[in-house]
Structure 1
Amino acid sequence: MTDEGIQRANAIAWPRRGGFWRRLFASLIDYLVIFVALYSLVAALFLLTDGGVKGSFWLNWKTCQSASLNGTDDPSLSRYDWQVCATSFFGFPVARWAACTSTDSQSKAVSMLSIDLDSKGKFRPAALDLGFLQVLVLATYLLVMEGAFSRSLGKGVLALFVHDELDWQREGLALQKAVRRQVVKFLGYLPAMLVGAFFAFETWKTVPASVLNYSRLEIVIAFAASALAFLWPCWIALAIAFGNEPIHDRAAGTTVRVLEADQ
């Protein structure tokens, strides 16, 4: 907290701070809300575009089965044993692709070949993967909910309330504080989101062919972005677990407290 915030907290009876597990489960509920909304949108776009739009999100499950495929002019692809894989949302597909493992005859290097499919099971130009949008949509959802009500759906279920340190009785955060809180909270995910968008648009509408070759620099950047996206929430979680305010609350001048029944 800031010095002024500490003085204010000492002058009033603050509710107890939201603990690690309570905040974790609230975050999981919020992600599931966004997950369902995004999957519903992508499922509709997948059907409308005949597989031209797909989604790869954090909570993904797939089913695969062996199959024979047609629809490519590349004879080198016909010698592989293919599997057709799909992810779906309540029975509605959100992605469908064919995958196989190939071995280079000279270097013996093993690589994975994956090609998107249309509704008839034929090879098609690569679909646009909207998976990179999940962080942006989640941050926007939290910004609106906490800015208007000081709590998201997940926080409401777990009886959590985001307080302004200098105006603890206010419901809803000032726009500047709400924006600052979400920007800092998801700052560690930004490189991974940009890398995901870059690869999604780079591969979009490419013709079915062998595995795309990425430069060593692109691979290093993607790895670094993924590592940061993993370490950032771990750092935030450790701060909460040790009873400290995480970086986004310190930056925004906010604190997450349990909403007591007598308030």
Structure 2
Amino acid sequence: MTSTEGAPARAGFWRRVGALLIDSIVAAILLVPIQVLIAVLFLQTNGAVQGNLGLTFLSCEPVNQLPQTLEPSSPADFTLSVDCTASFFGLNAWRALTVVKSGQGDGTTSMSSWHYSLGPDGRQVDAFDVSWVGALVFLAYLVLMETRRGATIGKQALNIRTVDVQSTSTVGIPLRKAVTRQLAMMIGVIPAFIAAFWWENSLFVDGADVSEMLSAGYIVTTAITSLIQIAWLIWIIVSVSKKRDPIYDRIAGTSVLRTR
């Protein structure tokens, strides 16, 4: 998008940050009834449906005696066992048991872990975790607001809006561009997601030796993906600070302008 005399100026860095903070508060408010619903379902389904949307208080207690008939079975000579519950104003919404066994051998320390979803009564359940709903609701909020009004509540409060560079006078942007814009923002974290998925499927399985997390491969992978995320964030900050469209806006064909 090229600037012309008299045309609206691009939104600056602090206006964008302020809008994001306001939208984070709005999203938290939107998630309150959903978290309450999950807590109700947790109780009504005996833990078959549970989830933590980030609004809960997590409390953990050590367990000396494990529930019987755990599947897969955990070692009787475990080192540590912790029962954790996530609650929202006293309403339990998520519960899990983690069992850890550590030991020494050949000059190295090994550590294995087992994870179990629990119901309100403390018994193991085959739970459907809906914690991902929080991210989905926030994404839906951003896309819907920018599609219909061109601005989220946070952007409206700080007098900025997202426009289609091909039609800057039109209120709202096409759904395709709104979705593309939000997904493009996450390009920098994709390597971290891939690495996390790889390590989770190789290490974070019941009985796996999680001491491998301290291996050179894990540390190097974590360092590289962290540097990619930092570089991506710096690139965006520099572009916005210089009143240029960041890469995700250029990919989507959008721009964020001041309305006054």
When normalised by structure 1's length, the TM-score is 0.70
Structure 2 Cα separation of the partners of residues 41 and 55 of structure 1: 10
What corresponds to 1:71 in structure 2? 67
Contact 2:151 2:161 in 1 (8 A): yes
> Take 2:24 and 2:92, find their aligned partners in 1: how far apart are those partners?
20
Q: CA deviation at 1:121?
A: 1.6
* 1:152 matched to 2:152: yes
List aligned pairs for 1:18-167, cutoff 5 A: 18-35=11-28, 36-37=30-31, 39-56=35-52, 62-73=58-69, 74=73, 76-77=75-76, 79-106=78-105, 107-125=108-126, 127-167=127-167
C-alpha contact 2:116 2:124 (8 A) present in aligned 1 = yes
Deviates more, 1:81-90 or 1:231-240: 231-240
Match runs of 1:218-237 below 5 Å? 227=226, 232-237=232-237
Residues 81, 99 of structure 2: 8 Å contact kept: yes
Between 167-176 and 49-58, the greater mean CA deviation after superposition: 49-58
1:149 Cα deviation after fit: 0.4
Letter in 1 for 2:94: A
The whole-number CA distance in structure 2 between the counterparts of 1:77 and 1:128 is 27
What is the identity, as a one-letter code, of the residue corresponding to 2:123?
K
Q: Say whether 1:247 aligns with 2:243.
A: no
Matched residue type, 1:138: F
**Structure 2: which amino acid aligns with 1:43?**
A
* Count of matched residue positions in the alignment of Structure 1 and Structure 2: 247
Question: CA shift at 1:156, angstroms?
Answer: 2.2
Alpha-carbon distance between aligned partners in 1 of 2:243 and 2:234, rounded to the nearest angstrom = 14
Task: Name structure 1 gaps, 5 residues minimum.
Answer: none
Give 5+ residue unaligned stretches, structure 2: none
One-letter identity of the residue aligned with 2:89: F
The residue type equivalent to 2:85 in the other structure is A
Aligned with 2:43: secondary structure? Answer: helix
Tell me how far 1:189 sits from its aligned partner.
4.7
Say if 2:74 and 2:99, in contact at 8 Å, map to a contact too.
no
Matches within 5 A, 1:179-258: 179-189=179-189, 210=207, 227=226, 232-258=232-258
Query: Using the alignment, how far apart are the partners of 1:165 and 1:233 within structure 2?
Result: 23
What CA distance in whole angstroms lies between the structure 1 residues aligned with 2:223 and 2:40? 33
CA distance in 2, matches of 1:34, 1:20: 21
**Could you say what secondary structure the match of 1:104 adopts?**
strand
RMSD of aligned alpha carbons: 4.1
Asked if 2 retains the 8 angstrom alpha-carbon contact of 1:70 and 1:122, the reply is no
Q: Residue 60 of structure 2 aligns to which amino acid in structure 1?
A: C
1:76 is paired with a residue whose SS is: coil
Structure 1 residues 49, 27: CA separation in 2 closer, same or farther (over 3 Å shift)?
Answer: farther
**Does 1:12 pair with 2:6?**
yes
The CA deviation string for residues 217-254 of structure 1, in whole angstroms up to 9 with x for no partner, is xx79x959964666544543343234321112122332
Tell me the distance in 1 between the aligned counterparts of 2:93 and 2:48.
10
Deviation at residue 150 of structure 1 after TM alignment: 0.5
- Does the CA-based 8 Å contact 1:61-1:87 persist in structure 2? yes
TM-score, scaled relative to structure 2: 0.71
